[in-house]
A and B are shown apart, each in its own frame.
Chain A
């Protein structure tokens, strides 16, 4: 249901049946390593190219998510996926193997929440019983496409960010679909049986962002370019849903990094949004902790996807929080556009996730 100008409220409370995250060797050394389902020691994932490695991340995340939801591939009615590669090849190639009806989406690093919002909408409007959404990014394939070859030696400014090597997938389903099937015995309730997915998570609302361009042109400072987009979406969400800052136990942005998160903090104060420090986080800062090797923090489609679907959902299920708002941010530039002197248009999509009761 449309609420306000640009938000959806999901009255049937679409359920997150399962999530799965896959990471690379660098992520395996980070503070969130335990929240990954699969970690790879080889950056190439035994593939022949960086692009294939990225497809593999997406692939494994999808397979694992389906397995954890106790479903089979053919029961996934729609697959929504996007990534950073030209023509979103990683997603399309993963969809080729999956053979589910597929919608390719692109929101740069905001793809994770764009997909989750659309998946929840499809389920809420009874257009599907099971929808899977996924995204992935690979450090080397992103460097190759957007910046320099992996082995090229260059010094980056402190505002630069490290593209996360990770894939994340989530299966969203209707509450009654799962329950009905459990009654006729054709399939067991995917939520109740899995110890790890004990707490039921529901997608309650989403806000679709507008493109915000503040005229910044530095591709090595995307945090600063994206912060206004995050602010616009957070503001719109609170306005449309008519809730206060205290409604969420945690507001988390996608990949603003140290620089962008500080700017967003300042912008929120100026716009009268007061979220205390302990109730705000950024996936780009969570994934690698304080590692100076990643400059300002993590970025990429896999950043918000792996941190949200892995770490945040796990903590949410454990009862650390009741409601969170994930605001995934994306910089919609291409290597061509910035070489031609264009500024960086940015977007942010927000999705609210709530824990339903305790153990079902």
Chain B
């Protein structure tokens, strides 16, 4: 695809693109990695703490404690989105907030908020999975194939 496009470019376009590339400031990768590691790690530590709390104080087992933990993280992320602080944290942390379940919650809540002006049915209902939809679709598709692989004789199960 990229090669097909490159072929269509005129020499002037190619020359300009090389010039533009030279002037493009690079993304601060190391800084982004460190921030993502610290914030993403902190969210994971919080999740672990919540899980331990559910196991030790509320009688959940290792297996069942996952659901209430995720629910609380989603609730916190949704609340932070509604209060308008999540986007600021996320622009600092990048993948640190996007990869955990908090990013998924934010993508749904932010779209729902944004499209509330178009009404509850066509606006909120019709748009809230606009960003999260592809995560669901490809998550389910991937789970389907992993499930098939797991059920193959001699593997897993």
Residues of A within 8 A of B (CB): 48-51, 144, 148-159, 214-216, 221, 224, 227-228, 259, 262-263, 266-267, 341
Contact = CB atoms under 8 A, between A and B. Distances in A.
B103 A228 contact: no
Contacts of B28: 158
The A interface is mostly helix, strand or loop, or mixed, namely loop
A156 B57 CA distance: 42
Contacts, number: 98
A151 B91 contact: no
Interface residues of B, number: 43
Contact of A224 (B24, B92, B93, B117): B24
B46 interface: no
B110 to A, nearest CB: 4
Interface string B2-16: 000100110011001
Interface stretch (B68-76, B82-90, B137-145): B82-90
A158 B20 CA distance: 14
B27 A150 contact: no
Nearest to B26: A158
Contacts of A48: 117
A157 B27 contact: yes
A178 to B, nearest CB: 42
A151 B81 contact: yes
Interface string B101-118: 001001101110111010
Interface in B106-157: 106-107, 109-111, 113-115, 117, 131
Contact of B103 (A149, A153, A159, A216): A153
Given A49-B117, A152-B87, A228-B16, A259 B110 contact: no
B15 to A, nearest CB: 9
